């Protein structure tokens, strides 16, 4: 059974969402503050967090960042309608998805199930889960690409699914970020449409769509410290898609 932690200071909303999820076979645990959220997480047994942006004792964006630093638990941000800046910040801090209030509970339920399927798929393809009987390392390196490639001071560690910063700091990649970077590495300099990227990043365990591509590009840019006005590595080509402009070192 999926256990959801609903973190929101609105008691009516907490109860409404909790009742709806319970009705459809999920377990709901409720928290009305950042402190209550931390207590519930310490108890353990949480599979996914539904996190409000505004709490009486904390900022949801900062809480999301702190949670992502210590856990890969899926997070859905609950945001106000018409607040794109907060949504973008939440996604760049590591949230996996968002829903804008007021939202349709059935849509939230569908997003929870989709995220849990993707999360299970990422675990199934992780090094520990995917190693062969003789301990062979799992592979999704692009065809013909070495296990490590460099560009602009950055290194891509395909085997460990990480970006290594110019300062030597390792940044883990989500499943879709990893496959997106692999697609760019296989097609350097090419303009790839969102539809092409959906196909190139799709796996049996993932549910890539054009929305997930845009989110993954946003996260990759944040990790690469890209300027939105003048990106160095991933360029948006209006009306066509994205282009990876970096030169990969052999």
Identify the CATH number of the domain in which residue 192 sits.
1.10.10.10
**Do the domain assignments include residue 206?**
yes
Strands 241-244 and 54-55: unpaired
Residues 116 and 39 in one domain: yes
Banded model confidence at residue 148, pLDDT cuts 50, 70, 90? low
The tally of domains found in the chain comes to 2
pLDDT of 187: 87
SS (H, E, C) the chain: CCEEEEECCCHHHHHHHHHHHHHCCCEEEEECCHHHHHHHHHHCCCCEEEEECEECCEEHHHHHHHHHHHCCCCEEEEEECCCHHHHHHHHHCCCCEEEEECCCHHHHHHHHHHHHHHHHHHHHCCHHHHCCCCCCCCCCCCCCCCCEEEECCEEEECCCCEEECCCCCEEECCHHHHHHHHHHHHCCCCEECHHHHHHHHCCCCCCCCHHHHHHHHHHHHHHCCCCCCCCCCEEEECCCEEEECCCCEC
pLDDT above 80 (res 85):
no
Residues 10 and 120 in one domain: yes
pLDDT above 90 (res 132):
no
Residues 108 and 161 in one domain: no
Q: How far is CA 132 from CA 124, 126, 138, 139, in A?
A: 12, 12, 7, 11
Q: What is the pTM of this model?
A: 0.52
Which residue in this structure is represented by tokens 């898609």?
A: 241
Alpha-carbon distance of 209 to 213, in angstroms, equals: 6
Banded model confidence at residue 118, pLDDT cuts 50, 70, 90? confident
**Do the domain assignments include residue 185?**
yes
Q: What is the pLDDT of residues 34-66, one digit of tens each?
A: 999 999 999 999 999 999 988 988 888 888 888
Residues 120 and 166 in one domain: no
pLDDT of 20: 93
**Whole-number mean pLDDT of the chain?**
80
Angle at 145 between CA 144 and CA 151, to 5 degrees: 150
**Do the domain assignments include residue 47?**
yes
Residues 153 and 119 in one domain: no
Residues 114 and 157 in one domain: no
**Do the domain assignments include residue 249?**
no
Contact 91, 219 (CB under 8 A): yes
Banded model confidence at residue 228, pLDDT cuts 50, 70, 90? low
Q: What is the CATH number of the domain that holds 28?
A: 3.40.50.2300
Residues 8 and 110 in one domain: yes
pLDDT of 26: 95
Alpha-carbon distance of 120 to 150, in angstroms, equals: 30
Q: What is the pLDDT of residues 18-35, one digit of tens each?
A: 999 999 999 999 999 999
Residues 38 and 73 in one domain: yes
Residues 197 and 114 in one domain: no
- Report the 10 Å Cβ neighbour count for 100: 15
Alpha-carbon distance of 46 to 53, in angstroms, equals: 19
Domain that holds residue 15: 3-124
């Amino acid at each position: 059974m999926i256990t959801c932690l609903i973190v929101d200071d609105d008691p009516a909303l907490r109860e409404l969402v909790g009742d709806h999820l319970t009705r459809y076979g999920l377990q709901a645990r409720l928290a009305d503050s950042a402190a209550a959220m931390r207590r519930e997480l310490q108890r353990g047994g949480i599979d996914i967090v539904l996190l409000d942006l505004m709490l009486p004792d904390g900022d949801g964006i900062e809480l999301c960042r702190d949670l992502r630093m210590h856990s890969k638990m899926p997070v859905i941000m609950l945001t106000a309608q018409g607040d794109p800046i907060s949504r973008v910040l939440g996604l760049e801090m590591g949230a996996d998805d968002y829903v804008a209030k007021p939202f349709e509970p059935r849509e939230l339920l569908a997003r929870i199930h989709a995220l849990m399927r993707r999360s299970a798929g990422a675990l199934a393809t992780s090094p520990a889960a995917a190693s062969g009987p003789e301990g062979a390392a799992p592979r999704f390196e692009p065809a013909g690409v070495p296990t490590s490639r460099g560009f602009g001071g950055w290194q891509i560690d395909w085997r460990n699914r990480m970006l290594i910063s110019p300062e030597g700091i390792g940044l883990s990649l989500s499943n879709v970020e990893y496959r997106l970077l692999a697609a760019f590495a296989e097609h350097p300099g090419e303009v790839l449409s969102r539809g092409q990227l959906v196909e190139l990043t799709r796996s049996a365990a993932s549910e890539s769509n054009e929305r997930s591509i845009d989110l993954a590009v946003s996260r990759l840019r944040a990790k690469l410290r890209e300027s939105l006005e003048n990106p160095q590595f991933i360029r948006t080509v209006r009306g066509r898609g994205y282009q990876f402009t970096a030169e990969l070192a052999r």
